Amino acid sequence: MEYFIPVVIFLFGTVLGSFLNVIIFRHNSGRGFGGRSGCLTCARNLSWYELVPIFSYLGLRGKCRDCHTPISIVYPIIEFSMGAILLMLVSRFAFFLPLSGAIFTYFIAFYTLIFAIMLVIVGYDIRHKIIPNNLVYPLIFITFIGLFLSNFGSVHFHTATLNAILAGPLVALPLFILWAVSKGAWLGFGDVKLAIAIGFMLGAERGFAALVLSFWTGALIGVFLIIILGRNATKKMYLPFAPFLIFGTILAFFLNVTVTSLLGYF
């Protein structure tokens, strides 16, 4: 029984993740958010057992049952990530529960919203190689407002001190310089805007750690792709950067990695 509640929380997160997939795959596509889910190639409507998060993808072995078109790996990745994030959020803020159910609920809702928008950005950037303004602007707004809302008497993560407000532009600065120097070749301006939100969310110490971690994982995956693709890897091959930025953010947030602790290993 001790695993029952964590499993339920994880599964609830994967269901949330499949709603995020609907947004990722229909946003700006001309398709509304209503109507039934269907195969993007042969348009066949999906039955209920083909809409179960993660398991349907595994059961169908990643292919449409009718036309055998591969189903995007983005679906199970987003579902699994939201499940794992929700579980980690609940366990992180569980210590609030005996103190105040309201504060617990506030933190879970606040960070679930932030990570949900981030996962939509990840999926959208993988698919379309762009970060839509109508996702990243609300994210900047919510993380900024959060600076003024996370102060509960003695319980606060970081308050809206001048440092916390400056952390947004400060964390975005290195990416802005890379963007300006490469004239947008190495990363997009959307990544710069995303980093502002990451700075507001994490503060400067953890925000810079998120940057460092995203550069490391990005470089690692980049080298790995060049090795497995060999000569097929072209100079023009473009890796979206937002997934790495957000992966770094998840690590820095949940493991409380600061840039000083990270660089202290050297």
Between 44 and 156, name the residue whose CB sits nearer to Zn ion.
44
Stretch that binds Zn ion, among 34-42, 78-86, 88-96, 168-176 (CB under 5 A): 34-42
Binding segment for Zn ion among 41-49, 174-182, 186-194, 206-214 (CB under 5 A)?
41-49
Residue that is written with structure tokens 């001309």 in the block: 30
Select 66 or 255, whichever has its Cβ closest to Zn ion.
66
Residue 40 binds Zn ion (CB under 5 A): no
Query: For residue 68, which phi and psi values (nearest 5 degrees)?
Result: 60, 20
Choice from 5, 7, 42, 51 touching Zn ion (CB under 5 A): 42
Judged by beta carbon, residue 42 or residue 181, the one nearer Zn ion is 42
Going by C-alpha positions, the residue among 167, 232, 234, 179 that lies closest to residue 204 is 167
Smallest Cα–Cα separation from 152: which of 111, 197, 99? 99
Query: For residues 64 and 242, which CB has a smaller minimum distance to Zn ion in the complex?
Result: 64
Which span (15-23, 40-48, 79-87, 111-119) binds Zn ion, by CB under 5 A?
A: 40-48
Residue 64 engages Zn ion in binding (rule: CB under 5 A): yes
Query: Given the complex with Zn ion, which of 42 and 145 has the nearer CB atom?
Result: 42
Binding window for Zn ion (CB under 5 A); candidates: 58-66, 74-82, 155-163, 213-221: 58-66
> Among 5, 67, 97, 255, which residue interacts with Zn ion (rule: CB under 5 A)?
67
Q: How far apart are CA 126 and CA 147, in angstroms?
A: 29
Touching Zn ion, residues 73-92 (CB under 5 A)? none
* Member of 39, 118, 259, 262 binding Zn ion (CB under 5 A): 39
Nearest to Zn ion of 45, 66 (CB atom)? 66
CA distances in angstroms from 1 to 5, 10, 60, listed in the order given: 8, 15, 30
| 21/81 with CB nearer Zn ion | 21
Rule CB under 5 A: choose which of 28, 41, 45, 133 binds Zn ion.
41
Stretch that binds Zn ion, among 32-40, 105-113, 157-165, 192-200 (CB under 5 A): 32-40
C-alpha 208/C-alpha 248 separation (Å) is 10
| Residues of the shown chain interacting with Zn ion in the complex, contacts defined by CB under 5 A | 39, 41-42, 64, 66-67
